[in-house]
Amino acid sequence: MDPPAAIESTATTEPFAPAVPSKMMTPVQFDPAKHLSYSPPSSILKMEDLGLSSTALSSVASTEPFPLLSYEAVLQHRRELFTPDVLDNCLHRTRPGSVQLRGMAPRYSPFIHQFWHSPEVLKIISENAGVDLVPAMDYEICHTNVQLSPDGIAGVRATPVEPPAATEDAIAQFEKDKRKPQAVTDQTKPIIEWHKDSHPFVCVVMLSDARHMVGGETELQKADGTTVKVKSPQMGCAVILQGRYITHTAAPATNMPERVTIVTSFRPRDPTLLDETTNANVRNKSHLTELYYQWTTYRLDVLAERARIAAEALRERYEENVKKTDKEGKKGLCRVETVNVAKMEKWANEQITYLNQTLYEMRPLGQ
C-alpha cells in the first residue's frame, strides 16, 4: 500500500519554495451525488486470514478494491493536486523512482479537504474498516504517490488532468504478463519498501488509468512470512488497509506512462480507543512547523476528551453513591469510595505514556 512515506534515513525533502500562483480555478463543492460512485467491496480480508490476531480496533486487514470516486471526482483530485502551488510547496523527493505530495489540504486543495471530511465518505470508510474513523490529521489527507517517468520532476509538472491511456506497447505487455504466475514483489527497484504505516487505517485510491497496468498490486506479509497480493485498484477505486499492523509493500507499474495513487490516513473517532499513531514515516517529508502543530493539537484534543469522559464517569458514580448512602440525598459528605485510586493511577499512567509518545514523535530528525 502506498502509505505516508517509509524510510527516514534515505528520503530527502525538497527545499521550501515560495508559492507560485496557480491559474484561477472555479471552486468545486463536494456533491456526493456527483462525486461518489460507491459499490461495496466484493470481499474483505480478515487479520486471521493472514495468520494475525485482530487488533483492539478491528478484525479487518484489507478490502478488495471497490469503486469510490466518480470520474468527475478523479479529475477534480488531479486538478487540485498538480498545480504550481502544490508542486512548489508540497512536493518531496522520497526515493529515486518516486515523489510524494503532502500537506496540500485545505490551503491548496479545498475540494479534496471537503471530500475526505464529508460524512458520506467517512461512513463508507468506517463501515468497511469495522470501526468509526476520522482523518488522522489534515496533513495526512490525500498524501500522493507519483511514480516518476523518465522525464523525472519535469514529467510530474506536466501531469495532465485527464489520465493518459495505455499505449499499444503497454497493452501488449499487459496481455503477455497477465498469463504469468504472480511472484513476490521485486525489491530491487521498489517504489516503497516493506513497511508498516504510521496510522491505524489508510484508504488508497488509484488516480491513473489502470486497465492495462502491469504491477501496482499491494502485497501483504502473512505471519508465516509468506505473502498475499491484493490486486491493484482501477481508476477511482479504493482499498482500505489496517496498515499500522500489517507489513506490506507496493509493486511498481512497469508499462504505464504514470502511476498516481492517493492515501488518506485515519484514526479512531472514539478517543478512548487504542491510538498508536506515530510520525515515524512522515517527519522527514513534511513541513514540521505545520505537521507538529496539527499533531500536538489532535493529541491534546484526545487527552482533553479522555479527561472529560473520565470526570463525567466519576460524577455519575458519585451521584449514585449519594443516592444509595445519604438519607437526605445531599452531596458534600459521601462516605463510600467513588474514586478507585488503583484504577485512577492506571488511567493516569496511560495518559502520561500518551503524552510522552506525543513528545517523542517530535524528536529531532535522525534520532
Identify the pLDDT of residue 300.
Answer: 98
Same domain, 51 and 185: yes
pTM for the structure as a whole: 0.87
Q: What is the CATH number of the domain that holds 148?
A: 2.60.120.10
Query: Which amino acid, one-letter code, is at 188?
Result: T
Same domain, 231 and 311: no
- For residue 274, is it within any domain? yes
- For residue 9, is it within any domain? no
CA gap 22, 79 in Å, rounded: 11
Query: Mean of the pLDDT values across residues 175-190?
Result: 57
Q: Give yes or no for residue 327 having a pLDDT over 90.
A: no
Print the domain residue range for 313. 299-360
Same domain, 129 and 261: yes
CA gap 100, 285 in Å, rounded: 8
Same domain, 174 and 261: yes
Provide the pLDDT confidence category of residue 170 given band limits of 50, 70 and 90.
low
CA gap 284, 302 in Å, rounded: 25
Same domain, 52 and 101: yes
Domain count across the chain? 2
Same domain, 120 and 36: yes
> Residue 319, exposed/middle/buried by CB under 10 A (0-12, 13-18, 19+)?
middle
> Residue 176, exposed/middle/buried by CB under 10 A (0-12, 13-18, 19+)?
exposed
Q: Give yes or no for residue 363 having a pLDDT over 80.
A: yes
Q: Give yes or no for residue 15 having a pLDDT over 50.
A: no
Pairing state of beta strands 91-95 and 227-230? unpaired
Tens digits of residue pLDDT in 41-98: 999 999 999 999 999 999 999 999 999 999 999 999 999 999 999 999 999 987 777 8
Same domain, 243 and 323: no
Strand-pairing partners, residue 358, are: none
Q: Could you tell me if 303 and 151 are in contact, meaning their C-beta atoms sit under 8 angstroms apart?
A: no
Tens digits of residue pLDDT in 194-231: 889 999 999 999 999 988 887 778 899 999 999 998 88
Q: Give yes or no for residue 246 having a pLDDT over 50.
A: yes
Q: Give yes or no for residue 175 having a pLDDT over 80.
A: no
> Residue 153, exposed/middle/buried by CB under 10 A (0-12, 13-18, 19+)?
middle
Tens digits of residue pLDDT in 253-305: 777 778 899 999 999 999 999 999 999 889 999 999 999 999 999 999 999 99
Residue 105: name the closest of 132, 74, 70, 143 by CA.
143
Task: Give me the percent of the chain exceeding a pLDDT of 90.
Answer: 71
* Residues 6+ away with beta carbon under 8 Å from 338: 314, 317, 318, 321
Same domain, 148 and 261: yes
Same domain, 243 and 304: no
- For residue 289, is it within any domain? no
Residues listed for the chain: 367
Identify the pLDDT of residue 5.
Answer: 36
Same domain, 125 and 184: yes
DSSP letters spanning 230-252? EPPPPBTEEEEE-TTSS-EEEPP
CA gap 342, 125 in Å, rounded: 38
Query: Which amino acid, one-letter code, is at 53?
Result: S
Provide the pLDDT confidence category of residue 1 given band limits of 50, 70 and 90.
very low
- For residue 198, is it within any domain? yes
CA gap 103, 112 in Å, rounded: 11
